[in-house]
Amino acid sequence: MSKKNRMSGNEAVANAIRQIDPDVIAAFPITPSTEIPQYISKFKADGLISTEFVTVESEHSAMSACIGASASGVRAMTATSSAGMALMYELLYVAASDRLPIVMAAVNRTLSGPININTEHSDSMGARDSGWIQIYSENAQEAYDNMLMAHRIAEHPDVMLPVMICQDGFITSHAIENILLEDDEAAAAFAGGYDPPHHLLDPESSVAVGPYSVSPYVMEMKVAQANAMIRARKVILDVAADFEKTFGRGYGLFEEYRMEGAELALLIMSSAAGTAKVAVDRLREKGVKAGLVKLRVFRPFPAAELAAALKGVRALAVMDRSEGFSANGGPLGAEVRMALYGKADGIKTINIVFGLGGRDARVEDFEALYGELAGLAGKPAADIPYFKHMGQRE
Amino acid sequence: MIEIRWHGRGGQGAKTAALLLADAAFETGLYVQGFPEYGPERMGAPITAYNRLDDAPIRVHSNIYEPDMVVVVDETLIGAVDVRGGLKPAGRIVVNSSRAAARVSEEFAGFEGEIYAVDAADISIRCLGKNLPNTPLLSVVARLSGIIGEQEFFKVMEGAFLEKFAAKPEVVEGNMNALREAWNGAVLVNGDRDE
């Protein structure tokens, strides 16, 4: 039985971790994810978890400890944000290429500069090519649910890749909201146990983890890793289907919100999707054919699925909460254009970079944006810029 | 939906009050949000905290720009911060003040809604031995919001305080006394109406 509760995104994720009771957690505090290791530390002191909690002197060491633990065949987790994730950068690639199913609670925060503690996706977007599965959460409930699913995805024999479960710093991590918490036993049973067939400390079945590889082998290993990311798509959906059967809340690679007959659409991630949904509701009441796609799984990127979902839309705004400094917009904008090109041509598309450093995005901002999209729908594509920024002072 | 905006200074507990109000509203079966707006965290710096309370799930995740109620935890913020910004014409203002009703009312000249003043500092000093105005203000806001009855509110808060102050249970009684004293402790300063 699920129970009604209210808590912040950080507390929700910490409770999922308590229920999963992983073997090892190694973490270093950084705002706004600090509360997660704080809760874990309290759970440990109270005897609620059997986790080995490793306090380290940096995030580089946190991920190194997770890699060592995971290679030895146990469940390893961490939590971080912003500069902490950046300090892990080298090890993120090591974890993924060593095929270690580590799970990270990522609380999105702006990367410097200027130094800022509020939300932005520049931290996890910077790690988008590191080989980690990335799942984004709109609210505390989704952060909790995604965390309960994370290990089953990461540890699936077809996948064996690390997973980061992302939520927006402060907006989700520090806001108290209603949430349904599952029973400890049911949550633990869903997450299951981890008993890998091979690991570093098994004398019966020895393997090498992270050795030097010469050119004749590197490409094969990278292709195997890439194929695992491709297979992860199905595993993510299978785990979500089992989650829905068990707990009643359904998830896909993305959520289509009021997309039936939608002519104007936003593609957006995380907490701002909730605010934009309110704008969609208001516009639908006025007869505007507005819809929204909320991307949940950024890695693996569901290109074909998005092209199919967006086919028929007249104008689309792809919302990036990070500035990629590509001079052509943000990372999500680039990937969505790739997904649509040749598969769903003719959609008048603009990439909007918004919400940087926690800049607030209001319902009215999204309503106005749909108004702009209505204008773009009638324009020649050549007259539409690749991208623009929204919400900054001039 | 009821939207409430709290204006305080770092260290006065505006964020804690917003989170406790969310707790109280949750216990009555409402959907809630309680969240702070973080800037540089310093004692004394102006901070804002927010509540949304509704009987339907709340999806909006922006700050609150057109609140139904504004709570001024520190009256020295009036003038320094636009505490009235966007407040609905029929909204309410709750001010922590020891000044005469007329003086408080003057600060918000032209405002058509109700303005309440409570000497939260005085209640806090008498009940807790120090100036933590958030607890008395929380009680006033809970009453004015109309979401919860007196006894249920005290019961929920006692549970919340016992959890929050597990390491120093001796402060629970003082906080409860501050809540009880403040429940009917606010004065309507701009007219003879009452809610």
Burial class of residue B167 in the structure, from the number of CB atoms within 10 Å of its CB (0-12 exposed, 13-18 middle, 19+ buried):
exposed
Residue with the two structure tokens 């680039």: A334
Q: Are the beta carbons of B38 and A117 separated by less than 8 Å?
A: yes
The CATH number for B50's domain is: 3.40.920.10
**Nearest chain B CA: its distance from A214 CA (Å):** 50
CA distance A8 to A174: 5
CA-nearest residue to B41 within chain A is: A117
Residue B62: which of A118, A139, A360 has the nearest Cβ? A360
Contact B34 A175 (CB under 8 A): yes
Does residue B62 form part of some domain? yes
Cβ contact A170–B31 (<8 Å): no
Q: What is the pLDDT of residue B42?
A: 77
Strands (E), A92-212: 103-108, 133-136, 163-168, 176-181
The whole-number average pLDDT for the span B166-185 is 95
Instruction: Taking residues A170-196, report their average pLDDT.
Output: 97
Q: Is the pLDDT reported for residue B194 higher than 50?
A: no
How far, in Å, CA of B109 to CA of B101, rounded? 13
Residue B6 belongs to some domain of the structure = yes
Tokens 């890998």 identify what position? Answer: A196
Distance (Å) from the alpha carbon of B175 to chain A's nearest alpha carbon:
22
- The answer to whether A199 touches A75, Cβ cutoff 8 Å, is no
Written as one string, the DSSP assignment of chain B is -EEEEEEEETTS-HHHHHHHHHHHHHHTT-EEEEEEE-SS--TTSEEEEEEEEESS-----S--SS-SEEEES-GGGBTTB-TTTT--TT-EEEEE--S-HHHHHHHTTT--SEEEEE-HHHHHHHHHSS--THHHHHHHHHHHHTSS-HHHHHHHHHHHHHHHTTT-GGGHHHHHHHHHHHHTT-EE-SSS---
Q: If pLDDT is split at 50, 70 and 90, which confidence band does B41 have?
A: low
CATH number of A3-247: 3.40.50.970
To the nearest whole number, what is the mean pLDDT of chain B?
A: 94
Residues 139-198 of A with CB under 8 A from B: 139, 168, 170-172, 174-178
pLDDT in tens, A306-343: 999 999 999 999 999 999 999 999 999 999 999 999 99
Work out the average pLDDT over A10-18: 98
Separation of alpha carbons A7 and B33, rounded Å: 9
Residue B175 lies in a domain: yes
- Specify whether the CB–CB gap between B117 and B108 falls below 8 A: no
Query: Do residue A174 and residue B33 have CB atoms under 8 angstroms apart?
Result: no
pLDDT confidence tier of residue A21, bands split at 50, 70 and 90: very high
ipTM over 0.90: yes
What are the start and end residues of each CATH 3.40.50.970 domain in chain A?
A: 3-247
- pLDDT by residue (tens digit) across A118-157? 999 999 999 999 999 999 999 999 999 999 999 999 999 9
For residue range A221-257, what is the model confidence (pLDDT) as tens digits? 999 999 999 999 999 999 999 999 999 999 999 999 9
Sole residue written with tokens 């007219």: B191
Mean pLDDT estimate for chain A: 97
Yes or no, beta carbons of A177 and B63 under 8 Å apart:
no
Q: Considering the entire predicted model, what is its pTM? A: 0.96
B141 inside domain: yes
Does some domain include residue B193? no
pLDDT score at A145 = 98
Q: How many CB pairs under 8 A join A and B?
A: 57
The nearest CA of chain A is from the CA of B39 a distance in Å of 8
Range of weakest confidence among A23-27, A184-188, A270-274, B98-102: B98-102
**Residue from A39, A118, A177, A280 whose CB has the most chain B CBs within 10 Å, to mutate:** A177
Fold of A254-390: Rossmann fold (3.40.50)
Cα separation, A345 vs A314, whole angstroms: 10
Interatomic CA distance for residues A291 and A283, integer angstroms: 9
How close B40 comes to chain A (CA, Å)?
A: 9
The yes-or-no verdict on residue A383 having pLDDT over 60 is: yes
Q: What span, in angstroms and rounded, lies between the C-alpha atoms of B72 and B126?
A: 20
Range of the domain at B122: 2-188
Residue B192 has pLDDT above 70, yes or no: no
Residue among B33, B38, B65 whose CB faces A177 most closely: B33
Of A172, A174, A358, the CB nearest to B36: A174
For residue B85, give the amino acid letter.
G
DSSP state of A110: P
Check if the beta carbon of residue A82 is closer than 8 Å to that of residue A56: no
> What's the structural domain count of chain B?
1
Q: What is the pLDDT of residue A375?
A: 98
Please compute the mean of the pLDDT values over residues B140-148 and round it to a whole number: 97
Of A6, A139, A363, the CB nearest to B32: A6
Q: Taken in order A295, A297, A303, A304, is the CA torsion positive or negative?
A: negative
Residue ranges of chain A assigned to CATH 3.40.50.920? 254-390
What's the pLDDT at B195? 44
Whole-number pLDDT of residue B43: 82
